[in-house]
Amino acid sequence: MRFQFRKSVASLLCSTLMLSSTLSPAVHADGLNNLPSLGDAGGAELSVQDERRLGALIMKDYRAFGAVNSDPEITSYISRLGNKIVQAASESPSNFEFFLVTDKSVNAFAMPGGYIGIHTGLIAASQTESELASVLAHEVGHVTQRHIARRFGQQKQSSLVATAAMIAALLVAGSNPQAASGLMAAGAGYSIDQQLSFSRDAEREADRVGFLTLQQAGFDTQGMVDFFGRLQTASRLYENNAPSYLRTHPLTTERIADIRNRAGLENRRTPSQKQADLEFELVRVKSIVFAERSNQQLADRLRTFESPNEQEGIKDPVALAYGKSLVLNAMGRKEEALKVSEQAIARFRSAQSVVKTTEVPMLLQSQRMRMTLDASLPLVSAPIDQRPPRERAALNSQEKALLEQLNELRNDFKSEMSVRLLYAEGLQRLGLFAESDSYLNELAQAYRSVPEVFDLLAQSALALRKPAEHHMALAQSFNARQAYLPAIEQAEIAKRFASDNYYLLAEIDAKQREYKRKADAEREFARFGN
């Protein structure tokens, strides 16, 4: 259940006056970093535990709005990239979560508790992996320097929790203005300009820390110069329509000069000398396609992949074919999409792309496998609990060949969550629900925070006529999404079906108590906002 507003919009905005930069039309959570004064490390700041709780509350509402894109391939990529930066900053990756937001605007934001969101538009605007990494390093710098904690530390807890729900709504309003139009209208009277002088110290500090972290992580620091330089140029060209990132991360001539000086001391390379990275290009192309929602936009995008323009800078023939296959698939032209997906792999194997490895990239292989499943085993309309479970011996020759391809893909990319989920889905499409159930139960032991694992596990249990396990998997999915009340309800239903199984009943009861403890802790933290 989403956190409910207990105060009027006006009083919420008054109680969060210090967050007025967050209420801009840019709708960007990193406005929280506009510090009145950085102070020293011993100054008033939100505790690490409370900062994490506040971030979790915001993320809970943000997910409830459907704003988080859970694509496993891009999420895995940005998480690996972000964790590399976090480790270089001598921090634990477990204290950070990097997530994707489908939005064309060039934006990224850090929230309390190490939650860092990356817009698809930011990935699309980055021309190298180092450019994207430079933005993540800057956001990680805000978190490690406790900018957000210091800012929130000056507020009472009564306004913190109310702020959490408001920020989530405002974040969503960037891509869905109707979602929080009332809040936006109420906040329109506040001006970012009133607080830019407070934010510059924090931005400079995040630049310095981010630059050093980028260097320590082994990325090309010229990427920070190139990307921020293009943003500064864009701000001059478009003035009021500048990229969203600039509205809450104001770039000054002094900041750009400082970044350039640091990069000049470390590396004299010119901006035109950029190293190709196919995985980044594929992620970038997929991010671009995600943002195209209408049929006309998809048609326009198809033309750009067929006849690429210089402005977007996508020249790699493998990436262009991959993008074309994604667009065709989104348009429902499945057979054409599969053929073009095969072309992308053929181009890679014929060395038409400059890459570091001879192994076909995971994104190309998984895309072909997904499209092959769609073509060979289209989703059936019959409810899953009406589909009889099958054994391998019952598979025909085509199905056995598909299973072999799934096994090869899983063996080639054992550590990729997207491949693991695709393998489990493939087993279910083949009707091998018992195998899927066993495989997903193993995954669930190691990946308790991945809701998609439990979503698939619930499907397998339903097909196998195991109602207790089905509802328990749903409970674990809700728990992974921080929706504790629905998790408790599903666990209660599971207990009814497990009444004759003492060991399963004890396991369900233990998990239900865990969910209740989490719900109580959340309620205790939120009670001052009532």
pLDDT in tens, 386-398: 888 999 999 999 9
Which pLDDT score, from 0 to 100, does residue 358 have? Answer: 64
Choice between 524 and 441, residue whose per-residue pLDDT is larger: 441
Say if CB 245 and CB 106 are below 8 A apart.
yes
Q: Which residues contact 431 (CB under 8 A, 6 or more apart)?
A: 387, 388, 389, 390, 394
Which pLDDT score, from 0 to 100, does residue 43 have? Answer: 44
Nearest to residue 170, comparing CAs of 322, 19, 388, 11?
19
Q: Which of 247-256, 364-373, 500-509, 520-529 has the lowest mean pLDDT?
A: 247-256
Residue 416 predicted with pLDDT over 70: yes
In this prediction, residues 500-511 reach a mean pLDDT of: 95
* Per-domain residue ranges of the chain: 9-16+26-266, 276-376
Per the rule left: phi > 0, alpha: psi between -120 and 50, beta: everything else, 106 is beta
Q: Which residues contact 404 (CB under 8 A, 6 or more apart)?
A: none
Q: Output the pTM of the full model.
A: 0.81
Question: How sure is the predictor about 529, in pLDDT bands with cuts at 50, 70 and 90?
Answer: very low
Which pLDDT score, from 0 to 100, does residue 422 have? Answer: 96
- Cα–Cα distances in angstroms (integers) from residue 376 to residues 305, 370, 392, 393, in the given order: 26, 10, 17, 19
Which pLDDT score, from 0 to 100, does residue 9 have? Answer: 26
Q: Name the range with the highest mean pLDDT among 46-60, 70-84, 184-198.
A: 70-84
Residue 483 predicted with pLDDT over 80: yes
Question: How sure is the predictor about 75, in pLDDT bands with cuts at 50, 70 and 90?
Answer: very high
Question: How sure is the predictor about 163, in pLDDT bands with cuts at 50, 70 and 90?
Answer: low
User: 109 phi and psi, to 5 degrees?
Assistant: -155, 145
Choice between 282 and 252, residue whose per-residue pLDDT is larger: 282
Q: Give alpha helix (H) positions in 32-115.
A: 48-64, 72-88
Which pLDDT score, from 0 to 100, does residue 82 have? Answer: 96
Q: If residue 276 lies in a helix (H) or strand (E), which one and from where to where? A: none
How do the residues of the chain divide into helix, strand and coil, expressed in percent and rounded to 5? 70, 5, 30
The per-residue pLDDT of the chain, averaged, comes to 79
Q: Across-strand partners of 100?
A: 69, 118
Question: How sure is the predictor about 55, in pLDDT bands with cuts at 50, 70 and 90?
Answer: confident
In this prediction, residues 133-153 reach a mean pLDDT of: 85
Give percent of the chain with pLDDT exceeding 90.
Answer: 49
Which pLDDT score, from 0 to 100, does residue 22 have? Answer: 31
Q: Give alpha helix (H) positions in 291-353.
A: 295-306, 317-330, 334-349
Question: How sure is the predictor about 250, in pLDDT bands with cuts at 50, 70 and 90?
Answer: low
| Residues involved in catalysis | 139, 207
Question: How sure is the predictor about 186, in pLDDT bands with cuts at 50, 70 and 90?
Answer: very low
